[in-house]
Amino acid sequence: MSQTAHPAKPIAITGGTGFIGSNLIELAVASGLCVRALSRREQPPRPGVEWIAGDLEDQAALGRLVAGTSTVFHCAGLVKALRELDFEAVNVVGSRNLAQAVGASPGEPPHLVYLSSLAAREPHLSAYARTKRQGESVIRDALGDAPWTILRPPGVYGPGDQEILPLIRAMSRGYLPVVSRPASRFSLIHVADLGAAMLAVANQGRCFGRTIEVRDGSAAGYSMADVAAIAETILGRKVRTVPVPAAVLHVSAMFHQLRARISGRPAILSAGKVRELRHPDWLVKTNPLAEEGLWQPVYTLRSGLLETIQGYVEKGLLPRLSA
C-alpha cells in the first residue's frame, strides 16, 4: 500500500454543506485541490468542486463520490435528532455505507479520514456520543487493511457557527450562562485549524490506523470564566458568568424536546446533551499532530473569537464593537 499523496486525484468530502465541511472545502480549494462533495440538494456550481447528488443511504452515489479519489473526508454526522434511531441511521449506518464504498472502490482504496468527536470518548453520556463511537468501530471493521484515520476534535467554533451565536449574543449583553460544573475545563479548536489538521493527515502513512485527538495550542484548556475574560477584551465591556442550576437545565431540556416532537424539528438541547455539558473533563491532554510536526494550530482563543465576532458583526447579527 502506498503511503504517498496523489495530488492529481481529487479528494472527496461528505457533509460539505455543513459548518465544518464547508470550511474544509474552502481550505481545500484554496490549496489547489480538486474536491468532489456529496449533497442531498442541488448546489450552485463553483470552480474546483464537483457536487455528487445523493446521501449516505445511496450506495451508488457513494461509489461515484469515492471512485478515483486520494482521500475521503467523512464530515457528515447528526448532532441533533428527534429519535435515537435517527442518530444511528446517520452516524453508524451511514458511516458503514461510506466505509464499504471506500473498501469496494476499484484500484488502490483512498484514505478515509473520519471526523469523529471528543464526545466519543464518553459514549455513555448521550446517543450522539454513543453513535459517534460506534461510527468509529464500523469504519475500522469495514475497511480492514484499507487506510483510515479517526480525528476527535473538541468543541469547534469559528465564523458562521450558529451554535455559538446565542452565547456570543449573551456576552455582548454582559453575561455568559454557565451550564457546566464550576471546576470543568475543556479544549477548543477553530474550524480553520481543524480543516488544516484534516488536510495534514491525508495520506500520511504514520497516521494510518490511528485515533487522534486534536485541539488548539492551550494544553490547560479553558473554563467558562476564561472565555468570559477573553470576550471582555474583545467586546470592550464586563462579562459576568451566570451559573445555570442543573435542575433548570434538565427542565429546559425537557421543554426543548417536547417542542421538538410537536414541531418535528430536532433541538440540540436534550437530556443527553445536558450530561455532555455537565461532564467535568473535555480536555485534550496531548496534541499528537503538533507534537509530531505534522500540523500546528494557528488560532488562539482570543484571535479565533475576535474573527468569529467580527464575522457576526459584518452580517448584522451583532452590534459593532467599541472602538
pLDDT of residue 107: 86
Instruction: Record the pTM.
Output: 0.93
Q: What's the distance, Cα to Cα, between the start and end of the chain in Å?
A: 56
Cell 495530488 belongs to which residue?
7
Which DSSP helix (H) or strand (E) runs through 14?
strand 11-14
pLDDT of residue 322: 65
Q: Which residues of the chain have pLDDT under 70?
A: 1-7, 322-323
**CB-based burial label for 36 (10 Å; 0-12, 13-18, 19+):** buried
pLDDT of residue 181: 83
299: left (phi over 0), alpha (psi -120 to 50) or beta: beta
- What is the DSSP track for 91-142? IIIIHHHHHHHHHHSSSSPPEEEEE--GGGG-TTS-HHHHHHHHHHHHHHHH
pLDDT of residue 2: 39
| 313 CB-near residues (< 8 Å, 6+ apart) | 319, 320, 321
pLDDT of residue 321: 77
Quick check: helix, strand or coil at residue 13? strand
Least Cα distance to 112 among 153, 71, 56, 69 occurs for 71
pLDDT of residue 32: 95
Calculate Rg over the CA atoms of the chain. Answer: 20
- What is the DSSP track for 44-73? --BTTEEEEE--TT-HHHHHHHHTT-SEEE
Q: How many Cα atoms are found within 13 Å in the side-chain-facing hemisphere of 42?
A: 1
CATH number, domain 11-154+189-215+284-298: 3.40.50.720
Helices (H), the chain: 19-30, 59-66, 84-87, 95-104, 127-143, 165-172, 191-201, 224-235, 246-263, 271-278, 288-291, 301-314
Quick check: helix, strand or coil at residue 75? coil
- 39-87 per-position pLDDT tens digit: 999 999 989 999 999 999 999 999 999 999 999 999 999 999 888 999 9
